[in-house]
Structure 1
C-alpha cells in the first residue's frame, strides 16, 4: 500500500526537501526581522529586482543564483544611495528601483527567444531541480545568514525598538539597517530557486506572520517561524507530488494558508478567553 511520504525516497525529492528546509530556516530568522521592522515591501521589490540579473545570467550560461545575487545586491546599494543622496524616502527609493529593475528584466527577456522554457522557473522557481552543488550554496547562505543575524542581534533589537535609542547606545543603526537589508537580500536570493521571483515573499513573510500570532519574543518567534516554514516545505512538496501542482507555488500557498490558519486559531482563542475574564 503506497504511503503519503513515498516521494521522499527519491533522491531529487530528498534534495528538494533539504534545500527547502535550509531556505525555511534562513527565511524564518530573517522574516521575523522583516515583519518586526515592517519591511515586506523591500522583500517584494528585491524578489522582482532579481529579474534582470537572472535573465542576463541565463543568456550568458552562468549560474542564475550568481546573476540573481548581483542584481539584488546592486538594487540594495541603489536603494541606500537614493535614500542618502537623492533625499528620497525609503519606500520611494524602493519603488523607483523596483520598477526600473523589473522593466530592465522584461526588456532583456523580450529581446531574447531563449526564455520560452525558462520563464516559469524564473517566476515560480524549480525546487525539484536543486542539485548537490545548489545544496552547498544553500548551506553556505543559511550558515552565513544565521551567523550574521546572531552577531547583529543586539543592534537589530535596538533598531527595531527605536533607531534613535540605538544611536544613543552606540549601536550604529545605519550599520544595523545595512546588515538587515543584506540579510533580506541573502534570503531572497537563496529562496529564488525554490519559489521564484514572484512567490519569494510568501516564504519570507508568511511563516513569520504565523509565528507572531503565538509569541512576541524575537528568539521564540524565529524558532516558531522556522517550524512553520519547514512545515510549508514538507506539506507543499507532498501536495505537489500527489496533486500534480507546481512545487514552488504549492510551498508558497501552504505557507500563506498556515499563516491564515494560525491567525484564525489565535483569534478564536482570544474570543474564548474574553468571557472568562469578563466574569473573573
Structure 2
C-alpha cells in the first residue's frame, strides 16, 4: 500500500495527469452532491436520486456513439426527463414516486438499447455504470468547477423555499410560493449533481454521494446550514480517502469512495452525540434507572 507521501508524489507526476484530475472532480462532485443531497434526504427523495442517475444514461449513450460531450449528453437527457416528471407528477391521482418510476426506468432502458449498438459494448457499459478515474479529460475539470459554483449558489439562494415545499407543501402553495417551479428546480439540481459525478463514481453508485453524506450529517445536526457543510465535508473526505485507497490498493475508485462514505455513516449512526445508537441506549438506560428509583420511593 502506498504511503500518503507516495500518493502525493504520484499526484504531481506529469505522467499521471489523470490522477489529480480525477481527485479534483471527485471532490467537487462530492461537495455538490453533499449540498444538494441535504434536500434529497430532508424530502425523502432517495428513490428520485437513484432514478435521476438512470435518466441521464440515454444521453451518455448517444454522446458516446456520436463522439460528443458526455456531460452535455447526460445533462440534456436528465433535464428533459426531469421536466416530464415534474409536469406529470402535478396530477396527484398518480403519485410522484410512480411517475418517477415510469419515466426514469424507461430512460434507463432506452440507454441500454442505445449503448448496445456501440462497438466494445461491455467495456463502455462498465465505464458508464461504475466510473473510471482514468477517463476524466482536462476540460471536464473546468466544467465541473463552474457547475459546482452555480449549483451550490442556486441551492443557497432558494434553500428556504425548498425546505418550505418539502415540509409544508400546501402551506407553501397558500403563501404564494411557486411550488411547480421549486419542484422542477430541485429535480434539475439533482440532475446536474448526478451528471458531474458520472465520470468518477459511475451511473449506479452516484446515489451514494447524494444520500450517504447527507444522511450522516443528519445524524449530527438538525440545522440546515451546518447539515449542508457537514454533508459536503463528509463527501469530500470520502472522495479523497477513497481515491487514495483505490490508487494504493488497485480498487475501483467509485466503489471505494462509496464504501468509505458508508463507513462514515456507520460511525455516525453508532456514535452521534444525540441521535446515535449509543446515545439512545444511554438515554434508555437512564430512563430505566429513573423508573426503578421512582418505584423504590
Give the TM-score normalised by the residue count of structure 1: 0.93
Q: Any idea what SS the aligned residue of 1:152 has? A: helix
Q: What is the distance in 2 between the residues matched to 1:160 and 1:82?
A: 18
Q: Does 2:181 correspond to 1:181?
A: no
Q: What is the distance in 2 between the residues matched to 1:5 and 1:76?
A: 44
Deviation at 1:170, TM superposition (A): 2.2
CA distance change for structure 1 residues 2 and 92 in 2, over 3 Å: closer, same or farther?
Answer: closer
Unaligned runs of 5+ in 2: 12-16, 291-297
Residue in 2 that maps onto 1:166: 172
Q: What is the distance in 2 between the residues matched to 1:278 and 1:247?
A: 46
Residue in 2 that maps onto 1:255: 261
Residue in 2 that maps onto 1:224: 230
Q: Does 2:132 correspond to 1:108?
A: no
Q: What is the distance in 1 between the residues matched to 2:83 and 2:93?
A: 15
Q: Any idea what SS the aligned residue of 1:268 has? A: helix
Q: 36, 57, 68: which is aligned to 1:62?
A: 68
Q: What is the distance in 2 between the residues matched to 1:193 and 1:124?
A: 9
Deviation at 1:105, TM superposition (A): 1.1
Residue in 2 that maps onto 1:269: 279
Q: What is the distance in 2 between the residues matched to 1:263 and 1:159?
A: 28
Q: Any idea what SS the aligned residue of 2:123 has? A: coil
Q: Does 2:6 correspond to 1:6?
A: yes
* Kept after mapping to 1: 8 A contact 2:37/2:210: yes
Deviation at 1:161, TM superposition (A): 2.1
CA distance change for structure 1 residues 273 and 154 in 2, over 3 Å: closer, same or farther?
Answer: same
Residue in 2 that maps onto 1:242: 248
Q: What is the distance in 1 between the residues matched to 2:5 and 2:144?
A: 24
Matches within 5 A, 1:22-171: 22-84=28-90, 87-171=93-177
Q: What is the distance in 1 between the residues matched to 2:103 and 2:282?
A: 46
Give the TM-score normalised by the residue count of structure 2: 0.88
Q: What is the distance in 1 between the residues matched to 2:23 and 2:103?
A: 33
Mean CA deviation greater in 154-163 or 60-69: 154-163
Q: CA offsets per residue over residues 216-268 of structure 1, 9 Å max, x none?
A: 11111111111110111011111101211111111122212221222122211
Mean CA deviation greater in 104-113 or 145-154: 104-113
Larger radius of gyration: 2
Residue in 1 that maps onto 2:14: none
* Kept after mapping to 2: 8 A contact 1:122/1:197: yes
User: CA RMSD for the aligned pairs?
Assistant: 2.0
* Kept after mapping to 1: 8 A contact 2:56/2:107: yes
Q: What is the distance in 1 between the residues matched to 2:31 and 2:2?
A: 30
Deviation at 1:132, TM superposition (A): 2.5
Count the aligned residue pairs. Answer: 280
Matches within 5 A, 1:188-199: 188-199=194-205
* Kept after mapping to 2: 8 A contact 1:192/1:200: yes
Residue in 1 that maps onto 2:293: none
CA distance change for structure 1 residues 3 and 111 in 2, over 3 Å: closer, same or farther?
Answer: closer
Q: What is the distance in 2 between the residues matched to 1:37 and 1:86?
A: 17
Unaligned runs of 5+ in 1: none
